[in-house]
Amino acid sequence: MLTPVRSLPLAAVSSALIAVIISLMLAAPSVAFADAIGDKRRQAAAIQAQIDALDTKASIADEAYNQARERHSTLSARAAAATKRVAQLESRKLVLQEALGVRADQMYRGNGSLGMLAMILSSRSLAEFSYTVELMTRVSEGDAAMVSQLKQTETEARVVQKVLVASRTEAARQEASMASSARAVRGQLAARTRVLAGLDSDIKALIAAEQARQAAAAQARYRALLARRRTGAPPSGRSPAGGNPPPSGKAATAVYWAEKAIGKPYVWAASGPNSFDCSGLTMWAYQHAGVSLPHSSRDQIHHGASVSRSNLQPGDLVFFYSPIHHVGMYVGGGYFVEAPHAGARVQITSLAGYGHFAGACRP
């Protein structure tokens, strides 16, 4: 037999229906809100990728600028030295020419070789004759030496003049290259600023929060590294190279100054003390250790012994990308100090989580 269906009271049906409607009304905004947040996060990630690409282009242009500036400075110094040397040679030429003119006048007034012959024939003894001949020989040798010096001076002056012209020409070319790179950097940074200016407040907040999270994580890693150094405990799960002891000597001084720069802003072409770009930071830190480095990551890799990644020690310089356009300083524990990019500050970064490793050197 079929069991008859009991009718629910009208009040109970109404209450259940209202509860379902209310739950649907509450759930709909929640789902919509979650979707909106997800969309914002995806937009923020896409924009961050765009900004990262602009930062990479700016970094490449920045290092090209630094390299051109280094070469321009070197060539300008070479041109200045050549200018000074040309002046010295010209002065030397004038002295020699004047001395030879005096000798020519003396020979003319003394009838040249006839005058010399007369001096020899007028000798009253063999000893006087020998002395006179020796004196005439020395005078002739001196004249010949002056003529030879004049020729050498003129030859060197021509060579130095060529160096001077070549140095000035190349310096002008480097200056033009430097200006072109500077325009490229400014263009990339302006594009970056425009991208950020066009963002709505939610996406700006998301990007700022992510940057703050990364900065906090970097500081936490740095504090942990310092704690390990104080206790002497090697970092867990690290290779022996990651547990290197604190450096000594010049490397220790460079590491000390690089760490003091943590928190300072990145500014392209800057080399301290209040702002830095990547190669400006390493150059500045090593200046305090008495080591001179060029303001260019592409050049710095050639200023020291090459070091493998597995044998890194604190103070070693680590380089990234191809072509190289980023450098940092290894500080031990698998971390390095870097001035990352525009909008960021000098920070500690994990080498393990950083791709595009291109090599290392020990200044």
- Residues β-bridged to residue 210: none
- Residues β-bridged to residue 318: 328, 360
Q: What would the mean pLDDT of 66-78 be, rounded to a whole number?
A: 79
Same-fold call for 46-197 versus 243-362: no
Check: CB of residue 349 under 8 Å from CB of residue 334: no
Rounded CA-CA distance 79/165 in Å is: 8
Side by side, which strands form the sheet with 357-362? 305-306, 357-362, 317-320, 326-332, 335-338, 347-350
Higher-confidence residue of 158 and 283: namely 283
Instruction: Select 46-197's CATH number: 2.160.10.10, 1.10.287.1490, 3.30.2130.10, 3.30.70.1350.
Output: 1.10.287.1490
Confidence of residue 336 (pLDDT cuts 50, 70, 90): very high
Q: What would the mean pLDDT of 15-40 be, rounded to a whole number?
A: 52
Residue 85 has pLDDT above 70, yes or no: yes
Confidence of residue 339 (pLDDT cuts 50, 70, 90): very high
Q: Tell me how crowded residue 2 is: count the other CB atoms within 10 A of its CB.
A: 4
Q: Domain map of the chain by residue range?
A: 46-197, 243-362
Residue 7 has pLDDT above 50, yes or no: no
Confidence of residue 320 (pLDDT cuts 50, 70, 90): very high
Where residue 90 falls (left for φ over 0; alpha for ψ -120 to 50; beta otherwise) is alpha
Among 6, 14, 47, 20, which residue's Cα sits nearest to residue 207? Answer: 47
The percentage of residues in the chain with a pLDDT greater than 70, rounded to a whole number, is 66
pTM of the model: 0.60
The reported pLDDT for the residue numbered 150 is 62
Average pLDDT, the chain: 74
The domain made up of 243-362 has a fold known as endopeptidase fold (from Nostoc punctiforme) (3.90.1720)
360's enclosing H/E stretch is strand 357-362
Residue 138 has pLDDT above 60, yes or no: no
The reported pLDDT for the residue numbered 296 is 92
- Residues β-bridged to residue 337: 329, 348
* 3-state secondary structure (DSSP) of residue 123: coil
Indicate the residue type of 342.
A
Most confident range (mean pLDDT) of 16-25, 137-146, 226-235, 348-357 is 348-357
Q: What would the mean pLDDT of 7-18 be, rounded to a whole number?
A: 48
Higher-confidence residue of 50 and 138: namely 50
The reported pLDDT for the residue numbered 252 is 92
Q: Which residue has the tokens 């070789």?
A: 113
Q: Where is average pLDDT lowest: 75-84, 122-131, 282-291, 342-351?
A: 122-131
Q: What would the mean pLDDT of 38-44 be, rounded to a whole number?
A: 70
Each residue of 163-202: b (16+ CB within 10 Å) or e?
ebeebbebbeebbebbeebbebbeebbebbeeeeeeeeee
305's enclosing H/E stretch is strand 305-306
pLDDT tens, position by position, 161-175 = 787 787 778 877 877
Confidence of residue 105 (pLDDT cuts 50, 70, 90): low
336's enclosing H/E stretch is strand 335-338
Q: And the tokens for 293?
A: 């480095």
pLDDT tens, position by position, 306-318 = 999 999 999 999 9
Confidence of residue 153 (pLDDT cuts 50, 70, 90): confident
Separation of CA 98 from chain center: 51
Q: Which residue has the tokens 């030295």?
A: 81
